[in-house]
Amino acid sequence: MAKPKVLMVGKVNYAIEEWNALSDIAELEVCTSANRAEFIEDLKTKYNDVAAIYHNSVAITGQVDEEVLKNAPSTLKYICHHGAGYDKISIEPCTARGIKVANSPSSVDDATADVTMFLVLAALRNFNHGINTLRRGEWFNGVAIAHDPKDKVLGILGMGGIGRSLKKKAEAFGMTVQYHNRRPLSPELSGGAKYVSFDELLATSDVLSLNLPLNEKTHHIINAEAFDKMKDGIFIVNTARGAVMDEDALVQALASGKVANAGLDVFEAEPTIHPGLLANEKVMLLPHMGTYTVETRKDMEARVISNIRAGLETGKLINAVPEQAGMP
pLDDT digits (tens, 9 = 90+) for 36-68: 999 999 999 999 999 999 999 999 999 999 999
Average pLDDT of every residue of the chain? 96
Q: What is the pLDDT of residue 25?
A: 98
Residues 274-300, mean pLDDT to the nearest whole number: 97
Confidence category of residue 242, pLDDT binned at 50, 70, 90:
very high
Q: What is the pLDDT of residue 217?
A: 94
Q: What is the pLDDT of residues 87-106, one digit of tens each?
A: 999 999 999 999 999 999 89
- Percent of the chain past pLDDT 70, that is, above it, reads 100
The answer, yes or no, to whether residue 289 has pLDDT greater than 90, is yes
Confidence category of residue 262, pLDDT binned at 50, 70, 90:
very high
The answer, yes or no, to whether residue 254 has pLDDT greater than 90, is yes
All structural domains of the chain, each given as residue ranges with its CATH number in brackets, are 5-107+294-324 (3.40.50.720), 109-285 (3.40.50.720)
Confidence category of residue 328, pLDDT binned at 50, 70, 90:
confident
As annotated, the active-site residues are 241, 270, 288
Residues 112-141, mean pLDDT to the nearest whole number: 96
Confidence category of residue 266, pLDDT binned at 50, 70, 90:
very high
| 0.85 exceeded by pTM | yes
The answer, yes or no, to whether residue 1 has pLDDT greater than 90, is no
Confidence category of residue 325, pLDDT binned at 50, 70, 90:
confident
- Alpha carbons within 13 A on the beta-carbon side of 131: 11
Q: What is the pLDDT of residue 124?
A: 98
Confidence category of residue 326, pLDDT binned at 50, 70, 90:
confident
Comparing CA positions, the residue from 32, 55, 91, 58 lying closest to residue 321 is 91
Q: What is the pLDDT of residues 82-92, one digit of tens each?
A: 999 999 999 99
Residues 15-29, mean pLDDT to the nearest whole number: 98
- Cα separation values, 111 from 8, 104, 114, 118, Å: 25, 13, 5, 11
Residues 295-309, mean pLDDT to the nearest whole number: 97
| Long-range contact set of residues 20-27: C-beta below 8 Å, sequence gap at least 24 | 22/305, 22/308, 22/309, 25/309, 25/312, 25/313, 26/51, 26/52, 26/308, 26/312, 27/2, 27/3
The answer, yes or no, to whether residue 159 has pLDDT greater than 90, is yes
Task: Using only the alpha carbons of the chain, give its radius of gyration.
Answer: 21
Q: What is the pLDDT of residue 10?
A: 96
